[in-house]
Each structure stands twice: as structure tokens, then as C-alpha cells.
Structure 1
Amino acid sequence: MRASGPQMLTDQPVAPHGLRVRRLGIETGGEAIVFMHADCPVARSEGFATRTRVEVHAGGRRALATLFFTTNGLLDPDEVGLPNALWRQLHAGDGDVIEVRHPQPLASMSDVRVKIYGHRLEQDRLTRIVADIATGRYSDVELAGFVTAFAGQTLDVTETAALTRAMLEAGDRLDWPDELVLDKHCVGGLPANRTTPLIVAIVTAAGFTMPKTSSRAITSPAGTADAMEVMAPVNLDLAAMRRVVEREGGCVVWGGNVRLSPADDILIGVERALDVDSEVQLVASILSKKLAAGATHVLLDLPVGATAKVRSPAEAARLSAHLVAVAAEFHLSVTPVLTDGTQPVGSGIGPALEAHDVLAVLRRAPDAPADLRERAIDLSGRILDLAGGPPGRGRAQASSILNDGRALDKFMAICEAQGGFSEPSTAPLRYTISAPRSARVAAFDNRTLARIAKLAGAPRSKSAGISLHVKLGATVARGEPIFTVHAESRGELDYALAFAAANPDVIRLASL
């Protein structure tokens, strides 16, 4: 007799219900997000809620994402909407059938909570956390918890070395045949100061190896990669980077595209959104990328000033001592140099404006910013001294290489090797702020200047930013230009000018 009523099948797995894909054309800045209709049967049966972390499977590929719901006609109940980043990652096509499931529990979040409550993390905990971050298992909320947990706690050599090692192990590594591989890093916090492209050109023209991976802007109007990108491609993969270095001795590329420290690149995105820069993660970020790039000797530039990232010589000494101590755990030589951080270095603030300054120095133009030129020569000379030449001779060698055109030739060769040189653009909209009275330039508020440049559109708008017309100690007459705001749209120019008007002491003038 056939049994009546519902039956429970226990010997066959239940196949996940598929959903049709729709590309939404939304840019999320790399954040992995998926959308479903509020009446989606899969969402209801799985118990998904807004901001649930889900695992998306498509054609053998998978990705973790944060779920949001729609209640209008954007999606049908049997559809899932993908933004551009996730669409590319999954190689999806409109109408493809994919599956959305609960991911495995994120066990390493318990380790993050340990840190949030103020405890030190051992190597195994940090390795678990960083491995999960590097594979995209953390949501932005969870990443923010990790970043802020470190931001509020004091430096510890053992813990910072463990974080550095975890970040290093999560990515690729480069090795070079040279016994001496040179590098330079600036801790940032000072607008402009675009010495890196100049230093790479000088040091490699001297015959040394300098594979430079650089960051995009975190809290500034431009990072080195942003400024370099307006002159040459920087999104090179590991193989392309190696070819450039083998051909020319050096490069200036974006570190985020070569996976030398992929967890760090993810964390930088969160730090940018929070506008914070944790010292522990700063140290781990610097050292993991230098070690992954194969560096043996690193010059560390620490600009010191009241409105720079490093406020005092005592703070610089503490941070540099921590960097040196952690680097020693990996047998990496780090030499700190304290530099003047009281005012921007160069005339331009913003990717294209900083690139114009770099080229002016390389081309020995009469109006090239002298302070950028001198700082680049000084730092290059110190790096050449690290290479083992006669002590103190490096600066003269660096000056000669810049003055006779070898640095320009090498820079152009590096640009061509990276994909071709382009002249930086100029912004279509400009407005100049003039001195309201005759006065002496007494101080710069670096942070507020950076804010104005960002409101003008930098670094997203490459030609946006600020060009400075004065330096500390200069005297100006009433009506003379102090700085010019550059923008690519009227709205951004208006935002920047309104903020500048509300902060008239961004460049403080003192009576004569």
C-alpha cells in the first residue's frame, strides 16, 4: 500500500536553489555587495537578513559578499543583482544561474574581539585573521573593527612583528639576484613631497636596483602611485614588474596590483574611509611590502611638523625605533631620517600637479621647485651612502646624476618599460586666493591644505588640487597670489573654495 501524506527524504542532499544574475552597473569601490528582492524565496528559506554575509557561487568561482535587499522593481524575486566589481570577479553573464549560500563561520572574528578588548594577539591568531582578510572573508564592518582595535593601542614589537609576518605570508614575494636591493619609504602626512619618482630615477641611474611599490592615497590628496599614474601605467602584475626591473633596474608601480601584501591593500581601503592611520598597521604595512619586494636596505623618511602625521621629534624617534626594531626581526636594514614637515614640499598638491613638479625637477626647468629638488637629492644621496660608497659622497653623486640629465633619461626609460610616458593634464577650472594684506607667511596647516585639495576632487580627479605660490618666511603684498585651487567640475571647485573661505588661516599670515 502506498503511504499517504508528506514524506521526509533523508538519503538525498537538497540542491541549492539557483537565482538568475543581473548586472546592476553599480560601482562600490571594490566592496563586495549583492542585492536580492525582499521576497526572494532563497533569502526567506535561508534566513538571510540585511547585511548578512553570503557566499556566491558561479561557474566554479565563488566570492563572499554582503547582502542588501530591494523592494521596488529593480529585481525580480528569482534574481540576484551584482555590482561591477563582483560581476568581474565571478566572470558572470546576464541570465546565468548562480547559487547564494551561507558561508562557513568566520572563526577568526573571535580573535579580533580579543584585540578589541585590549589584549595582545599571538602569531597564530594574527595569521588566521590576515589569511581571512586576504581572501575577502571580512565585511567592511568587520575590517573596521580590526583597524580601530589596533589604532587605539600602543606599539608592541612582538605583536607588530607577528602582524608583519602574517601580512607577508598572505601574499607573493619577489627575490632578486643582487645582494643589495634599495628602497625608500615616507610615512606620509605631508602634502606633495613627491620625491619617490625622482629618487628611483637617480638611484637606478647610478646602477643600483630599486623595485619601488607605492600606495595610492590613504588620507592625502595623492599617493605616489596616483602621481606616477598620470605619467605612466602603474597597474602592473608581478611578472610585468619583474620585467621592468630586470630591464631598467627599478620601477614605480602600485603595490595593490602585485599582491605583495594583499591584506594590507584591503586594510588601506578601510583606513581611507575611516581617515585613520594606525601606527601598528603603518609599521606592518611598510615592512611587509618592503620585505615582499625583496628589499635589503630601506631609507625611512619621517617628515616632522605640527600639522604633519608625525608631530614632534620625540614621536618620530619612537616610531622610527619601533620600525627599526621590528625590521631587525626580519634582518632588514632600516635607516630613519627626520625631515622638515612644517610645510608642503614642492608647489603642487594633487596627482597631476605633483607630477608636473617631478618633471620640472627632472628637466631642470627654471621654475622647478627648489625644495623638492634639494630634498630628492639629499634623500637619494643618503640611499647611495647605504649602498656602501664613501660616507657623505652620495649627495654629490645624486646631484651630478640629476644635473647632467641621466636621471631624466632613466625616468623616461622606466616609464616606457612600464607601458609608455604621458604628459600630465591640467585642470579646466582654477581660482586663485590672494593675500588680503601685506604680510609674512608664518605657518602652513598641512592637514587643512590637504582637505581643500581633496574637496577639489583629488586624487579621483587627477588634475585637481592646489598649487602653492608662497613658502614659509616669504613676504607678500596685498593682492598677490597665495595659492590656486584646481578642479575638473564647478561643484568640486565651489566645495573647495567654501571650505577655504571658512579656514582663512590655512596659510597663516603675520604682520610685517
Structure 2
Amino acid sequence: MLKIRRVAIDTHPENTAFLLRSADGYGAEQFQAMRKIEITGNAGAILATLAISDDPHIVGVGEIGLGEQAFRRLGLAEGDSVSIAQAKLPRSLEAVRRKIGGDVLSDSEIAAIITDVAAYRYSPMEIGAFLVACAGFMTTQETLALTRAMADAGDRFDWHAPLVVDKHCIGGIPGNRTSMIVVPIVAAHGLIIPKTSSRAITSPSGTADTMEVLATVDLSAERMRAIVASEKAVLAWAGRMNLSPADDVLISVERPLRIDTFEQMVASILSKKLAAGSTHMVIDIPVGPTAKVRSQGEAVRLRKLFEYVAHKIGLTIDVILTDGTQPIGRGIGPVLEARDVMAVLRNDADAPDDLRERALLLAGRVLDFDPELQGGRGYARALDILASGKALAAMERLISAQGAQTETFRPGALRSEILAEEDGSVAAIDCHLIARIARLAGAPMDKGAGIDLLRKVGDQVRRGEPLYRIHAQSETGLRFACDLAAEGSGYRLLS
């Protein structure tokens, strides 16, 4: 028996345990064999990847250190006793080997794989093998089975209402922070919209990162339920919820490998929405030369896959193909995006028109799900709610309910403007490159880092005038961002 020590190391999403080398009767060979261990206490058991420490300040004799994720998931207190044993290889790995060989897997085989992934029985290498095999070939039925299995692997919300709406964008367009405008509009209308969002993985900001500038987003399931009961809405980080937990594990391996197939995208998005208790949702698919979806043909194929899987799992969806040829709004990065969102909600004269119109379009389509609203009146209703100030009031109530942010965040004080090298009109903006520059500046970890776009497609610019302004919190971040921008600004001008 070993006593638990909490180790303040974030190993998200994996469970990690720490043992002291040459202690407790274990030899190095045994440690090497036990790379994955099962930790059992009186509240249950978890599997964890084993790390060996040579520092008794991290973990001592007779102790097992648990990283933040493992400590939380095991649910015991520091000092409680647990036992450990070598974890057995998951039986579902045989199905992964068959998938690598080109076989089509059954629903039960996919469910077994996802159950083991969610329980952290797979190593990153084994998860990578599964993802690469699926990226090579995956049937529509396998995609459906994957979606169902991912939703079933975790908790589910039930809002006890016939109409629970949501809106999701597949991503890839910097500044496209429409959810923070759509949610208060829809809530002000009276529909339930419990919006859970991820933090940014490869983008300069996610909805949770931007909302965190204004309010607390790390909410427990109980707190989320209470807020939705009072406000009809929430804008929360999904990381605290056990919704489709296998998805977070898969994503942690997908992103470094740059695997983002349509099949895995559909399973990821729909499984989380199903687990979150949504019944109706709008899906935004931006289409553009530097977006995730780069042609109309690809967009139609993705739309049909969304529609097929959603129908089979009982979700009513409305898929919209939108303009993905340039960033939305002016700000890219948490603080700058929050500024734009609040400008739209306040009906400021200088609020970004494209962000406002995109949000109204999507909010209108969500409101069109309301059977009490005359068909096609969703946009007009959304416009009225925004213009009247009801959306702003709903957002202010939501911020208060979630807990207003006590720290004041501002745009990074270190700045550099990227200038046009010739006269002309802006013909195109590379979304992918602009996002990379903003991330190098420090976004989203540095809330104030990012990019302020000073010119958009169609604008005229003269040589030496600024195209955009980079904000950073550190000299290093500013230098990295400026160095990449010097290789190519991301803007294409036509004389």
C-alpha cells in the first residue's frame, strides 16, 4: 500500500503517477515493465502512465505521486492509501491491428476501443496508430459507431426540455467569435442554449479563452446546471465536464500529427453535442482557400456526413456554408476578440460589421428552430434582440452568474505594425498564417497577445501604411511573431 501525494503538475489529458526510483522494493527492471499501472483505492481505480522520480521532494518512500488529472479522477484525499498493479494490455488493441490492416470494424469493436481510450488504457502511440488507420479509410457506418461510442463513454446532460439548441463552427477562421454573440441573443429570446467550448489547441483563441477575459469559465456540472436554470444559457469550458472524454484524449494526439479528417471531425463535434444534451444545432462550415474546408465540393461532402450521422443519433441540425476567405472581425486573440464581441453587443458604431452580420445570420438560424416563431423570422428576431440591448443585458447577467473576471486584461503593451510593401487593394488574407503569427505573439496563453487587423479584403492601402498591428506581452513573443510576418505578411495585394 502506498500513500497518495498530490503533485502539482498538469499532464492533461493523461493520468500520470510518480514513484521514487529504488524504493519500496521495486527494481529498475520492474519499473520499466510497469509503464502503465492500475491504481486502486476505496473509491475506485484509474490507469496511469508511470514516471520515475529521482527527487524525494516530488515523491518519497512509501508514496505515489499523482498529477493533477490523476488526483482529481481518482477522487481520494492526500494521504489516503492505494495499491498498484501492472495494467493489462487492452483487448481492443487487436481490433486496432485489424483496422491498420484495412478491415472495417463492427460497432462493438469501435465501442470497446473508445471505452479503453476514455479509461486511459491506450498509450499515445497506440492512439496514434488507431487515428492514422481511421484517417486512411473509414466507412460512414464506422463514423456513426464512433460518434455513438464517444458520447456513451462519458456523462450526459439532460435538460428535460424538448428543445435545447446549440451552435458550432468547425473552426479555422481567426476572430470568428460568433458564439459569444449568438448565445446571449438566443437566451434573451428564451431558448435553452448550454454552450460548452474547448480552449484553443492550434488557434489563437477559443470561445472559452475569450469568454475567460470576461467571466469564469471553469464551472462544475452542478454550477452549470444552476446557471442554465436561471439564465437559459452558459458559456463554459468543456474541460471540467466529463462529456465525450475520449474526444479530448484523441485530440491530444490528433493535433501534433495534424490529423483532422472529416470523419473524425463529425464524430468529435456531434458526440459532444449529444452528450451535452442538445436536440437542435446549427453548424457553421467556413469555406475558403486557407480554411479547413477549401472547396465547395469538400463542404458539400462534409455537410452530408454531418446530416447523416446527426439524423441517426437523433440530432436535428442545420448546416450553413459561410465565407471563410478571411478572418472575421478585427481582433485575433482573447482580449482583442472580447473587445469586438462586446462592441457588437453594445451596438457600438465602430463594431466590426462582418462579425455582427455573421452572428446575426447564425443566431437567426438557431431561432428558426423555435416552433413558436414564424418560419424565416429568426434573423429579424435576432436583429431586434441585438438592437434593443436585450442581448447585451443577457450577456451581462450571464457574466454575473458565472462570476465576473476579477483580473483586468488589456491588449499587449508591446506592439509592432506590419506595413504594406506596395500600393493596392487587399485581395486575400491567409487565415492560417495570420493565426500562426498571433500564436507566436503569445495568444491564447497571454490573453492580451494577438493581432489587430487594420485592413480587410477589398480595402485600399498605400505603400508604408499598416496592414495589422501585433500585440505581445513579451519581447520574445513579439520578436517571434514579427520574424514570421517578415517572411510573409499573409496579405496579398492587387495593384
Identify the match of residue 252 of structure 2 among 266, 269, 275: 269
User: What letter corresponds to residue 142 of structure 1 in structure 2?
Assistant: E
| Per-residue CA distance 1:17-40 (angstroms, 9 max, x = gap) | x55766654443443333445545
Bigger radius of gyration among the two: 1
1:374–1:137: structure 2 CA closer, same or farther, 3 Å change rule? same
Q: Quote the offset at 1:128 in angstroms.
A: 1.2
How far apart are the structure 2 equivalents of 1:33 and 1:222?
27
Q: Does 1:136 align with 2:92?
A: no
SS at the partner of 1:329? helix
Identify the match of residue 92 of structure 2 among 108, 116, 124: 108
Which deviates the most, 349-358 or 175-184?
175-184
* Conserved 8 A contact 2:155-2:243: yes
* Conserved 8 A contact 1:20-1:98: yes
TM superposition score normalised by structure 1: 0.89
User: What letter corresponds to residue 133 of structure 1 in structure 2?
Assistant: V
**What is residue 145 of structure 1 aligned with on the other side?**
129
1:194–1:396: structure 2 CA closer, same or farther, 3 Å change rule? same
**What is residue 203 of structure 1 aligned with on the other side?**
186
1:448–1:107: structure 2 CA closer, same or farther, 3 Å change rule? same
| Per-residue CA distance 1:417-475 (angstroms, 9 max, x = gap) | 22235665322322211212222111111111111111112222222111111110111
Q: Quote the offset at 1:99 in angstroms.
A: 4.1
| Per-residue CA distance 1:112-170 (angstroms, 9 max, x = gap) | 2222223222111111111122222222222222333323334x321111111111111
How far apart are the structure 1 equivalents of 2:41 and 2:241?
25
Q: Quote the offset at 1:218 in angstroms.
A: 2.9
Which deviates the most, 175-184 or 185-194?
175-184
Identify the match of residue 411 of structure 2 among 426, 432, 442: 426
**What is residue 463 of structure 1 aligned with on the other side?**
448
Q: Quote the offset at 1:228 in angstroms.
A: 1.3
Q: Does 1:306 align with 2:289?
A: yes
**What is residue 4 of structure 1 aligned with on the other side?**
none
**What is residue 235 of structure 2 aligned with on the other side?**
252
* Percent identity of paired positions between Structure 1 and Structure 2: 47
SS at the partner of 2:367? helix
Pairing of 1:313-328 with structure 2 (within 5 A): 313-328=296-311
| Per-residue CA distance 1:297-340 (angstroms, 9 max, x = gap) | 21111000010001111101000100101111122211111100
How far apart are the structure 2 equivalents of 1:35 and 1:418?
35
**What is residue 430 of structure 2 aligned with on the other side?**
445
How far apart are the structure 1 equivalents of 2:5 and 2:279?
49
**What is residue 454 of structure 1 aligned with on the other side?**
439
User: What letter corresponds to residue 405 of structure 1 in structure 2?
Assistant: G
* Conserved 8 A contact 1:412-1:421: no
1:447–1:363: structure 2 CA closer, same or farther, 3 Å change rule? same
SS at the partner of 1:462? coil
Structure 1: gaps spanning 5 or more residues: 1-17
| Per-residue CA distance 1:211-252 (angstroms, 9 max, x = gap) | 212222232121111211221112222222221111111111
How far apart are the structure 1 equivalents of 2:385 and 2:186?
9
Q: Does 1:406 align with 2:390?
A: yes
1:266–1:72: structure 2 CA closer, same or farther, 3 Å change rule? closer
Pairing of 1:313-392 with structure 2 (within 5 A): 313-388=296-371, 389-392=373-376
SS at the partner of 2:368? helix
| Per-residue CA distance 1:347-384 (angstroms, 9 max, x = gap) | 11112221111111001122211100011111111222
User: What letter corresponds to residue 395 of structure 1 in structure 2?
Assistant: Y
Which deviates the most, 65-74 or 128-137?
65-74
SS at the partner of 2:467? strand
**What is residue 141 of structure 2 aligned with on the other side?**
158
1:470–1:116: structure 2 CA closer, same or farther, 3 Å change rule? same
How far apart are the structure 2 equivalents of 1:439 and 1:49?
63
How far apart are the structure 2 equivalents of 1:402 and 1:131?
43
SS at the partner of 2:253? helix
Structure 2: gaps spanning 5 or more residues: none
